[in-house]
């Protein structure tokens, strides 16, 4: 079957790979390719963040975790298994996604930064997007897929080439299919080098804003923000100062933080992920967007469901 996948981020590339592996003739069209996609800005760590419904997210996330495990520590992928801690200043229950993560446990007092009283300790993949996205592109091409940089303004443009379209356009779906449920969730991060730690640290309960420290092979991502409905891509000096202040509370006193890059991305926020097939006469579109802050976390699970929906439409 001929299929056109729209979107050059992690969702589109993962879908294109799975469809090509299933034997379909696949073209991927993207307005932007790495390093200019929203996916490039992601921290990125396996963590179901700002995505629902929980039951489907858990299933997609579990499958993606399995696939990322198989890619971890292969130099060309940029995927590494990293241990770390999510910390809290008050009592909390285990998170709803805990059963997905082997070895998940409560943190010991010695694993908590000063001022924190509880935490979770676990090991999950950290994905270096500047390496991972080119790896996915090359994997798709090696499978015989065709990658085109092309902006699309209507589904009919893709349907003129293939009867089945997979819509992984993220926030672009607002204009492409008129989905007003989509909202931008602006995120700012700082890249520092060298990394101040070998373990990740997360604090989403920080009342003054979230804080996370995500170490990578040669640098580290500090974050972050989640401004719902804000679509500005202009860096904010005050936000950068706030990120540094919050992250310093997670690190040993006087830890040097050498900022080398300030990045902004717009997460595709939606009340629920849209993953469904839509039939229009003899044409078909499979939607896969609205992953919030969990695009990487859900990528392979969603891609495999997309592939099943495409197969069901034969």
The answer to whether the CB of 86 falls within 8 A of the CB of 119 is yes
User: Which pLDDT does position 54 carry in this prediction?
Assistant: 96
pLDDT at position 314 over 80: no
What does pLDDT average to over the chain?
95
Beta partners for 251?
A: none
Q: What is the pLDDT of residue 176?
A: 97
DSSP annotation of 270 reads -
Residues comprising the binding site?
Answer: 38-39, 152, 169, 212, 267, 292-297
Binding annotation for FAD? 38-39, 152, 169, 292-297
Residue 267 has pLDDT above 90, yes or no: yes
How far apart CA 138 and CA 131 sit, in angstroms, is 11
Cα–Cα distance, 90 to 310 (Å, whole number):
46
CATH number of the structural domain spanning residue 295: 3.40.50.720
Q: What is the model's pTM? A: 0.96
Q: How many structural domains is the chain composed of?
A: 1
The whole domain housing 282 covers 2-312
* Burial (0-12, 13-18, 19+ Cβ within 10 Å), 99: exposed
Residues 56-115 pLDDT 10s: 999 999 999 999 999 998 999 999 999 999 999 999 999 999 999 999 999 999 999 999
The DSSP letter of residue 11 is H
Q: Are 221 and 190 in contact (CB under 8 A)?
A: yes
pLDDT greater than 90 at residue 281: no
46, 65 Cβ separation under 8 angstroms: yes
Peptide bond into 109 cis (omega under 30): no
Using an 8 Å Cβ cutoff, are 87 and 118 in contact?
Answer: yes
Q: Could you tell me which residues are beta bridge partners of residue 30?
A: 149
Q: How far is CA 135 from CA 10, 13, 54, 76, 141, in A?
A: 11, 10, 29, 7, 10
Percent of the chain's residues with pLDDT above 90: 93
Q: What average pLDDT does this structure show over 192-201?
A: 96
Query: What residues form the annotated binding site for D-dopa?
Result: 212, 267, 293
User: Residue 28: is it exposed, middle or buried by C-beta count within 10 angstroms (0-12/13-18/19+)?
Assistant: buried
Residue-level pLDDT at 209: 84
Residue 220's pLDDT is what?
97
Total residues found in the chain within this entry: 314
* pLDDT at position 311: 94
Residue 145 has pLDDT above 80, yes or no: yes
The 10s digit of each residue's pLDDT in 199-256 is 999 998 877 789 999 999 999 999 999 999 999 999 999 999 999 999 999 999 999 9
Complete DSSP assignment for 27-63:
EEEES--TTSSGGGG---BS---S---HHHHHHHHHH
């Amino acid at each position: 079957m001929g299929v056109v996948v729209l979107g050059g981020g992690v969702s589109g590339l993962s879908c294109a790979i799975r469809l090509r592996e299933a034997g379909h003739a696949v073209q991927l069209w993207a307005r932007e390719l790495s390093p200019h996609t929203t996916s490039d800005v992601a921290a990125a760590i396996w963590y179901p963040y700002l995505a629902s419904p929980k039951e489907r997210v858990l299933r997609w996330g579990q499958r993606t975790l399995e696939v990322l495990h198989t890619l971890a520590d292969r130099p060309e992928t940029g995927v590494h298994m990293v241990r770390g801690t999510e910390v809290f200043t008050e009592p909390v229950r285990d998170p709803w996604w805990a059963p997905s993560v082997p070895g998940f446990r409560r943190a010991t007092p010695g694993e908590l930064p000063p001022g924190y009283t509880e935490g979770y300790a676990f090991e999950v993949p950290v994905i270096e997007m500047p390496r991972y996205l080119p790896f996915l592109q090359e994997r798709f091409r090696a499978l015989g897929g065709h990658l085109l940089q092309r902006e699309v303004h209507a589904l009919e443009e893709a349907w003129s080439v293939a009867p089945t379209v997979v819509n992984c356009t993220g926030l672009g779906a607002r204009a492409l299919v008129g989905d007003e449920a989509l909202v931008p969730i602006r995120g700012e991060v700082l890249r520092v080098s060298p990394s101040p730690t070998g373990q990740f640290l997360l604090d989403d309960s920080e009342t003054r804003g979230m804080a996370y420290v995500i170490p990578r092979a040669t640098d580290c991502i500090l974050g972050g923000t989640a401004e719902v409905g804000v679509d500005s891509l202009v860096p904010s000096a005050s936000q950068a100062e706030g990120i540094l202040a919050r992250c310093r509370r997670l690190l040993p006193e006087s830890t040097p933080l050498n900022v080398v890059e300030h990045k902004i991305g717009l997460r595709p926020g939606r009340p629920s992920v849209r993953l469904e097939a839509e039939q229009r006469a003899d044409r078909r579109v499979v939607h896969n967007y609205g992953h919030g802050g969990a695009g990487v976390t859900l990528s392979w699970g969603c891609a495999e469901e997309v592939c099943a929906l495409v197969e069901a439409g034969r």
